[in-house]
Amino acid sequence: MKLYMTPGSCSTGIHIILEELEEVFEAHIVNLPAGDHFRPDYVAINPKSTIPTLVRGDGTALTEVPAIAYWLARSHPRARLWPDDADSECRLIEAMAYIVATIHGQGFARIFATNTFARNPADHESVRELGRDIVVKGFAILNDALGGKRYLAGDFSVADPILFYVEFWADKTGIALPDNLAAHYRRMLGRPAVARVLREEGYNPANLAKSSAPAQPLFRRDETLPG
């Protein structure tokens, strides 16, 4: 398989799932600022020009974080990264959809891609403020949903790396995590697969989850948040 990804982005969640599954795959870096996602060869794979894209062994491509996560879980049943009962399945789908569409797509996107929401620079600060408000509200909702559980489904599932990537963004941008999410974030950082992925993507896990540390740039070099 081939994973088309950008380090430090939402594709980090899929990268973690692949590592947890000990799946063999090729990693292809998509340089968003350089416009790699609009190159004809990439558009031929993913006409949406988004990341991540997972090209499977049969040559077909999957896009959208929840869809890729779900397929990886269902195609590796022995790993037990997806629940058996319908209610738990629905709760994980609910959580992943909310994380990607609202916390990421409506919240963090306003912070990292402000000019796509407002062309007038005078409006940018209010757009970013609204983005932070959406993120904080979303974290409060997920904090209650997590409750006293170690992971979203109780046991580790493919939904947890999806939650992790927005927790990681919060850490890197100085947005405080409520208690249950902070515990989940630290728990995820302690997983060997997560530590490997972070190092492979250019981050030092030892420097994360330090509330006293100042906010740092989220993406390395000239990378920006994928749309």
* Bridge partners, 153 (sequence order): 155
- Model confidence over 176-192: pLDDT tens digits? 999 999 999 999 999 99
Distance CA 140, CA 159 (A): 17
Packed helices 124-146 and 159-173: angle between N→C axes, nearest 10 degrees = 140
Contacts of 2 (CB under 8 A, 6+ apart): 25, 26, 27, 28, 54, 55
Tens-digit pLDDT profile for the chain (227 aa)?
A: 999 999 999 999 999 999 999 999 999 999 998 999 999 999 999 999 999 999 999 999 999 999 999 999 999 999 999 999 999 999 999 999 999 999 999 999 999 999 999 999 999 999 999 999 999 999 999 999 999 999 999 999 999 999 999 999 999 999 999 999 999 999 999 999 999 999 999 999 999 998 533 333 344 333 344 44
Q: What is the pLDDT of residue 119?
A: 93
Q: What is the pLDDT of residue 211?
A: 59
The domain locations on the chain are 86-190
- Model confidence over 15-27: pLDDT tens digits? 999 999 999 999 9
Tokens of residue 188, six digits: 């995820």
pTM of the predicted protein model: 0.91
Q: What is the pLDDT of residue 210?
A: 81
Tell me which fold the domain 86-190 belongs to. Glutathione S-transferase Yfyf (Class Pi); Chain A, domain 2 (1.20.1050)
- Please state the φ and ψ torsions of residue 62, each to the nearest 5 degrees: -115, 140
Q: What is the pLDDT of residue 226?
A: 41
Give, in order, the Cα–Cα distances in Å from 88 to each of 19, 70, 97, 121, 144: 24, 13, 14, 44, 16
